[in-house]
Amino acid sequence: MKISINRQYFIEQLNHCLKAISPRTTLPILNGIKLEVKEDHLLLTGSDSEISIEITIPTEINNEEILEISETGTVVLSGRFFVDIIKKLSGNFVQLETNDAFQTKITASQSEFNLSGNDPDQYPLLPEVNDEESIILPSAVLKTIINQTNFAVSLSETRPVLTGVNWQFDDKGIQFTATDSHRLALRRLEGDQFGMDSMHAIIPGKSLNELNKIINDSDDEVEIHFSQNQVLISYGNMRFISRLLEGNYPDTSRLFPENYETKVTVNNGEFYHAIDRVSLLAREGGNNVIRMSVDDGNVALSSNSPEVGTVHEDISTGNVEGENLKISFNSRYMMDALKAINDDEVTIEFFGTMRPFTLKAAESDAVVQLILPIRTY
């Protein structure tokens, strides 16, 4: 292969590609990026065998030449070294030339690197994704969905299905669920165009995290194709492929209680900052437990650390219904849940000191966050 390529554009695409590469891979060749020069484009591939990212670089973008192809060919180059070199070179264009032994000469102005490359035949084939079912979302909507659910996936491998977000399709739309069994995040997306017959897919939280770093907060279309074991996400010049988690996702619908005992509406930002302050004295034990009380319409938060001191916060709320209450919870879970609710007013419904409570926007059920309390009273 022999090409000349716009260095800044190349760096951006390589940075996306690196997101699929894990330094802890067991297959050494997966530390590399595969470069395939075809007649009229360059294809970059990075993979850690769970996530694969494929990027197509055309010769021109908006009539500006970004890639000049002198000779086709394929090579795999050590991802870390290769990208560092391209970043530190000077000049607008960089030249790459690979010989039969996959030795690759990289030149730009007065610099010349010769990198040992690997035989692309050693590089594993990407999984085939048969386009069985697919939907289209604006990237901003997908980003919001990821932000509202993905934080709640389990980080423990004891129940692998819980490390992913469950996408449950029904005839009216999609329900996204994530839980680590201490808290649960639920988001509904309504729309006939998403309607499918009771299909479900569990996408690993780690894959959604990496995808979230790549897609923009914009109207750009994201095409999502599901097959039996894989999901393929097409976005601009990129194909992002992730395996799906196998197994049955637990039925979480029965977790949501009805008929609250206590209902409180608070200002999202003020409540968030109050929790943040109160948790300052709750982090010593490592479990961030803070207490909340509802007493004759007055809402207060408190915490104490025996060696350090105590804290008390009064919460302004014009809206308290139902019984008095004392409850304790993990402040981190509460702050995550508040961030996931894109609304200034948040309604919290409690069902007693020992039962899970729920948070949602005052005016919408699209997002519901559920948190298990901690027994301290």
- Per-residue three-class SS string for 212-233: HHHCCCCCCEEEEEECCCEEEE
Among residue numbers 290 through 329, which ones bind a copy of itself (CB under 8 A)?
307-316
- Of these, 15, 70, 116, 253, which contacts a copy of itself (CB under 8 A)? 116
- Applying CB under 8 A, does 81 fall inside the site for a copy of itself? yes
Cα–Cα distance measured from residue 343 to residue 132, given in angstroms and rounded to the nearest whole number: 36
Q: Which residue number, 84 or 323, has a Cβ lying nearer to a copy of itself?
A: 84
- Of these, 24, 88, 213, 254, which contacts a copy of itself (CB under 8 A)? 88
CB of 93 to a copy of itself, least distance (A): 16
DSSP 263-307: EEEEEHHHHHHHHHHHGGGTSTTSS-EEEEEEETTEEEEEEEETT
Q: Which residue number, 119 or 314, has a Cβ lying nearer to a copy of itself?
A: 314
- Of these, 59, 113, 118, 138, which contacts a copy of itself (CB under 8 A)? 113
Three-state SS for 101? coil
Q: Which residue number, 82 or 249, has a Cβ lying nearer to a copy of itself?
A: 82
Total residues in contact with a copy of itself, by rule CB under 8 A: 31
- Applying CB under 8 A, does 110 fall inside the site for a copy of itself? yes
- Applying CB under 8 A, does 191 fall inside the site for a copy of itself? no
* Length reported for the chain: 377
CB of 307 to a copy of itself, least distance (A): 7
CB of 108 to a copy of itself, least distance (A): 9
Among residue numbers 232 through 291, which ones bind a copy of itself (CB under 8 A)?
273-274, 276-277, 280-281
- Applying CB under 8 A, does 91 fall inside the site for a copy of itself? no
Where does residue 353 rank: exposed (0-12), middle (13-18), buried (19+ CB within 10 A)? middle
Q: Which residue number, 209 or 302, has a Cβ lying nearer to a copy of itself?
A: 302
Around 149, how many Cα atoms within 13 Å sit in the side-chain half-sphere? 31
Around 305, how many Cα atoms within 13 Å sit in the side-chain half-sphere? 14
- Of these, 15, 90, 218, 364, which contacts a copy of itself (CB under 8 A)? 90
Among residue numbers 39 through 78, which ones bind a copy of itself (CB under 8 A)?
78
CB of 353 to a copy of itself, least distance (A): 24
DSSP 7-69: HHHHHHHHHHHHTT--TT-SSGGGGEEEEEE-SSEEEEEEE-SSEEEEEEEESEETTEE-EEE
| Beta pairing, strands 319-322 & 325-330 | unpaired
| Run of H or E residues at 130 | none
* Residues binding a copy of itself (CB under 8 A): 78, 81, 84-85, 88-90, 103, 110-116, 273-274, 276-277, 280-281, 307-316
